[in-house]
């Protein structure tokens, strides 16, 4: 059998989220974040099935916030945190039969003992296999190969997209060469060509996942996080990515069309009030007041017929509207739904980071 990773803009069978509660990510009072997660789940469930993993601590809250829908299925699977994109399986599809199965990558909290973000990730590492077992999917174990779902994109036609800053980081697979990693990706995901963006979003603590800086919207077309402000630390990163994207072709030999999707005009930062709400465990990466968060509109989620787009509000209301206008002009066949995402970005990621799709 031959498997490939479908594009995220293709039809979906379901989505996966994990209800948040980790105090170091979502605060001592996680309810604001839980309400946004519930809004996402309820919205996606209008178009497809949603699996929501819950712990005993937050099951009652989840049941209260979530719609009574046959499309919402709660699963009792313990986790260390709620980043479904990175801990849930990456799903691939058989080219002949259409069978869908998951891949369980090795997860080490974005860098393990080298530069991981928390000290205990055993539950997160076990999540993909546990999910496939409970939800009834076959599962391929990638064994010792470290990867997170947010570090890869696929156009569904043989092109894989990633960043050198992440996949070549010392905390992932330090004994593998770039060529080794490329062969491994293509083997598991049915890829024919890997495009290596140099960088991601400034201060992205995942070592700059691709899902925060660049995404396919259709074969041969991507959106790229951008800023025209040459004094912004994001400028040289996005500029390097643009130069790279304009110099390569995809697996089908096409030149890529690159659409610029500007980041928020005003940096989103950790406030003193945010800092007072966090409670960090021993060995967990901490935050500080004024720290710039990796806010980007590229961190959106495709679901059937819709796109869920982050919105940051406040000083970035105009930036939010600009991003909505751009996405609406690029995806005329989908409804672009704005989602208030400030309580997600405080955890360190955004809408794409907390969701994982299962192809039809």
Residue 107 to residues 80, 86, 87, 295, Cα–Cα distance (Å): 11, 8, 7, 23
d(CA 310, CA 340): 6
Residue 218, classed as helix, strand or coil, is strand
State the Cα–Cα distance between residues 213 and 200, nearest whole angstrom: 5
Residue 207 in tokens: 């070592």
Residues near 326 by Cβ (< 8 Å), separated by ≥ 6? 223, 259, 261
Rounded to whole angstroms, the Cα distance separating 148 from 312 reads: 25
- Is 114 in a helix, a strand, or coil? helix
Six-digit token string for 3: 């498997």
Please spell the DSSP secondary structure of 1-39, one letter per residue. --EE---TTS-EEEEEEE----HHHH-S--HHHHHHHHH
CB-based contact 339:301 (threshold 8 Å): no
Tell me if 233 sits within 8 A of 202, measured CB to CB: yes
Q: Measure Cα distances from 221 to 91, 248, 254, 297 in Å.
A: 22, 12, 10, 16
Instruction: State how far the Cα of 164 lies from the Cα of 23, in Å rounded to an integer.
Output: 31
DSSP helix/strand/coil, 123: helix
Q: Which residues are catalytic?
A: 353
Task: Rounding to the nearest 10 degrees, give the CA dihedral for residues 295, 299, 305, 311.
Answer: -10
Report the DSSP beta bridge partners of residue 335: 306
CA distance 66 to 62: 6
Q: How far is the C-alpha of 34 from the C-alpha of 231, rounded, in Å?
A: 36
């Amino acid at each position: 059998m031959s498997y490939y990773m479908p594009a995220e803009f293709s039809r979906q069978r379901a989505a996966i989220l994990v209800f948040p509660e980790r105090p170091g990510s979502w605060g001592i009072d996680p309810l604001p974040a839980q309400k946004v997660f519930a809004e996402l789940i309820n919205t996606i469930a209008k178009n497809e099935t949603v699996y929501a993993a819950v712990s005993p601590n937050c099951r009652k809250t989840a049941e209260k916030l979530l719609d009574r829908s046959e499309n919402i299925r709660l699963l009792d699977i313990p986790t260390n945190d709620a980043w479904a994109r990175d801990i849930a399986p990456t799903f691939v599809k058989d080219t002949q039969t259409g069978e869908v199965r998951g891949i369980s990558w090795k997860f080490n909290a974005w860098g393990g003992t080298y530069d991981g973000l928390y000290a205990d990730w055993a539950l997160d590492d076990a999540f993909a296999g546990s999910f496939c077992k409970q939800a009834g999917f076959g599962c391929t174990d990638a064994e010792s190969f470290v990867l997170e779902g947010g570090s890869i994109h696929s156009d569904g036609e043989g092109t894989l997209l990633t960043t050198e800053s992440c996949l070549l980081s010392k905390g992932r697979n330090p004994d593998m060469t770039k060529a080794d990693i490329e062969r491994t990706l293509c083997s598991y995901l049915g890829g024919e060509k890997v495009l290596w963006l140099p960088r991601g979003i400034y201060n992205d603590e995942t070592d700059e996942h691709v899902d925060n800086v660049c995404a396919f919207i259709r074969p041969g077309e991507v959106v790229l996080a951008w800023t025209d402000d040459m004094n912004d630390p994001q400028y040289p990163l996005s500029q390097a990515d643009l130069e790279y994207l304009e110099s390569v072709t995809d697996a089908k030999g096409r030149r890529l069309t690159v659409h610029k999707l500007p980041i928020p005009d005003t940096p989103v930062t950790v406030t003193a009030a945010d800092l007072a709400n966090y409670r960090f465990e021993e060995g967990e990466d901490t935050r500080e007041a004024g720290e710039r968060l990796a806010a980007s509109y590229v961190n959106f989620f495709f679901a059937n017929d819709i796109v869920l787009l982050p919105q940051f509000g406040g000083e970035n209301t105009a930036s939010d509207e600009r991003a909505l206008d751009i996405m609406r002009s690029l995806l005329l066949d989908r409804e672009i739904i704005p989602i208030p995402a400030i309580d997600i970005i405080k955890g360190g990621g955004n809408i794409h980071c907390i969701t994982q799709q299962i192809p039809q």
